[in-house]
Homo-oligomer: A and B are copies of this chain.
Amino acid sequence: MQPTIYTIAEQAGVSIATVSRALNNGPRISEATRARILKIATDLGYQPSAAARGLALKTTETLALIFPQVSGPYFSELIGGAEGVARQQNYHLLVYSLQTNKPNDPFLHLLPARTDGLILSNQHIGEEYIHHLHQRSFPFVLMGREVAGLKLDTVRPDNEGGAYQLTRHLIEVHGCQRIAFVCGSEDNLHTQERLAGYNRALQASGLPAWVEPSIRGDFSEAGGYARMQRILTWAEQPQAVFAASDQMAVGVLAAITQAGLHVPEDIAVVGFDDIPSAAYLQPALTTVNQAIFEQGALATEHLLQRINWPDMAPRSVVWPTRLIIRRSCGCGNP
């Protein structure tokens, strides 16, 4: 059997209240007994029961991160950022990949019973649920989205701005006129915002949009590959392709190369995310950095602050994006 505070109390010849005080740096306890108790506790290898503590304190010291799917470099970065901050503050991190399309998955409703706060990075979670959490004033932060009419803690990348800059770069520096945009999944907010930035840049220069939509698409390499193959059948070839994510850009590069064409000579390619391998692709990928790891860390910090200070004003941060110019757009080696 695991030792409990009773075990310790017995060995120390004190009451469990005193043990509790010693363990929690409570006030009104002599240094001598505190030291004695602490020693016994470590000797016994005592570990407090999370359940009992949670029950008494109404706290779980646990956070949950909910996202669409783990595969791919995006979410591993996100988890990494969140986990680091959580642990540093003695919190634990539960992860859930929720691929459901049910906007109000019953599963979601059991989370508040196990956690002190949520990081929601899933776009298909219904607003109904968000409102529900908000009304209960259960701590959470939203990633990559906002909810109309609600002042919430959110963290999201400047998708529109990043896509705008990148598209302008293609137009102004490289003189591209025909730029194709390869969607991730079409109902994805990130895709839509990036598409909006792309459109704004084109309109500013009076150029037409060329969008390859994705009916049941995703952000994978395979998705990028398949869509680029379709683009290659177009009557008029684009001079540049803007993939909605780096992961898709990897597939786009593969399709172009396999068709016997060269990047960037025949077609320029750019992506979005700046995943770790982007710099090492052939050619190195021009993209937009959005510091996913840092966003995950920041979201977690804000969540922890929300938990500790429930009345703090909500903060909505738009993480600035940064153009990363490499070779795939046609620029020389930076």
Which one of B49, B76, B84, B277 lies within 8 Å of A221 (CB-CB)? Answer: B277
Taking beta carbons and an 8 Å cutoff, which residues of A are in contact with B?
2, 45, 47-52, 54-55, 60, 62, 69-73, 75-77, 79-80, 83-84, 87, 92-97, 109-110, 112-114, 220-222, 225, 247, 250-251, 253-254, 257, 276-277, 279-282, 284, 293
Which one of B96, B112, B253 lies within 8 Å of A282 (CB-CB)? Answer: B253
User: Which residues on B sit within 8 Å (CB–CB) of A54?
Assistant: 50-51, 54
What DSSP secondary structure best describes chain A's contact surface? helix
23 A/B residue pairs, CB under 8 Å, sorted by A? A47-B109, A47-B112, A47-B113, A48-B113, A70-B77, A71-B80, A71-B276, A71-B293, A72-B76, A73-B73, A79-B79, A83-B97, A87-B96, A92-B94, A92-B96, A92-B114, A93-B96, A94-B94, A94-B95, A221-B276, A254-B282, A257-B282, A282-B282
User: Which residues on B sit within 8 Å (CB–CB) of A253?
Assistant: 280, 282
Which one of B51, B76, B114 lies within 8 Å of A76 (CB-CB)? Answer: B76
| Closest Cβ neighbor of A113 among chain B residues | B47
Name the residue among A49, A75, A220, A284 with the largest chain B CB count within 10 angstroms: A49
The answer on a CB contact under 8 Å between A95 and B95 is: yes
The answer on a CB contact under 8 Å between A76 and B83 is: no
Name the residue among A62, A72, A113 with the largest chain B CB count within 10 angstroms: A113
Name the residue among A50, A251, A280 with the largest chain B CB count within 10 angstroms: A280
Which one of B47, B77, B110, B257 lies within 8 Å of A71 (CB-CB)? Answer: B77
Which one of B76, B80, B97, B221 lies within 8 Å of A280 (CB-CB)? Answer: B221
